[in-house]
Amino acid sequence: MPVRDRNQSAQALQVHGRLFLLDCGEGTQYAMVRHHVPMMKLDSLFLSHIHGDHVFGLFGLLSTLGMKGRQTPLNIFAPVNFGPILKFFLSYYGDGIGFEIRYTPLKMKEPETILETKNLRVQAFPLNHGIETFGFRIEEKEPLLNVDKEAIGRYGLTLTEIGSLKRGEDVVRADGTVIPVSAAAYKPYEPRSYAYCSDTAPFPQEALWLKGITVLYHETTYLQELADQGAQRHHSTTLQAAQLAKDAGVGKLLIGHYSSRNTDIADYQAECRSVFPESYATSDGETYDI
């Protein structure tokens, strides 16, 4: 339900020069303008499910992209039952869309890779929300090693030897000299990951599928006192999300998708932190570094 200063579900994720949009609730394009998110650079859109608070902003966003003259194809990953919605939109408003929409229907029963680049891997996995609903796990691949510039001069490394070191292979020269990776190369960063889980009630495989995530966003529609409503409506409570984060060993938990009956989100954060201290109640417009 509408709440002052609280928009519907939508998150922008910028990673390795790509801009991903996770869900597209009502007012998303206005929020992108307000918070200086460059919508023309949007690479891929991931829709968790077709409930209105997650998709009602899509038609406006697609139309605006068309009016702005977008030519680059747009990837949309969404459940199978999104297909008729997209077909309806295109049948009435498609003439104003001058770019290709590449729709990939989601229908997996366990985590599957749906998008892969040189640096990234995106997996989708089913959630427990009463209708087809999917979560998304975006993670960096193991990076190539960087070769220390001083080591290049010190050992007189050739391009072939530099390539071997970047792949994590020791250099063995014809005269038997060994240049170990540890002496000349280093990992530029530890791979980071982000997962988006909205909306869902708890289910047995969730902690396993989210194991080791750097930053997890998980819905907490209800405070713990309304756990019975959460079960009836296939949503999570604060303590359920916090326990999941603890069981999965995630680095940080971001929470949101609060019930419209609650205007003070401090209670949500407090309940989560009683189980998982690295919990943060999100508000519109905030930015988090992963």
* Catalytic positions, written as ranges: 53
Q: Which strands make up the sheet holding 42-46, listed edge to edge?
A: 11-15, 18-22, 42-46, 74-79, 101-106
Return the number of other C-beta atoms located less than 10 Å from residue 174's C-beta.
5
- Label the pairing between strands 11-15 and 120-126: unpaired
Q: In a 3-state reduction of DSSP, which class is residue 196?
A: strand
Rg of the chain on CA atoms, in Å: 22
Cα–Cα distance for residue pair 287/205, rounded to 1 Å: 29
What values do phi and psi take at 22, rounded to 5? Answer: -105, 110
- Using a 10 angstrom Cβ sphere, with 0-12 exposed, 13-18 middle and 19 or more buried, the burial of residue 228 is exposed
DSSP state of 3: B
Q: In a 3-state reduction of DSSP, which class is residue 279?
A: strand
Q: In a 3-state reduction of DSSP, which class is residue 224?
A: helix
Structure tokens, 250: 């995630």
Please report, to the nearest 10 degrees, the dihedral formed by the alpha carbons of residues 123, 253, 242, 1 taken in order. -80
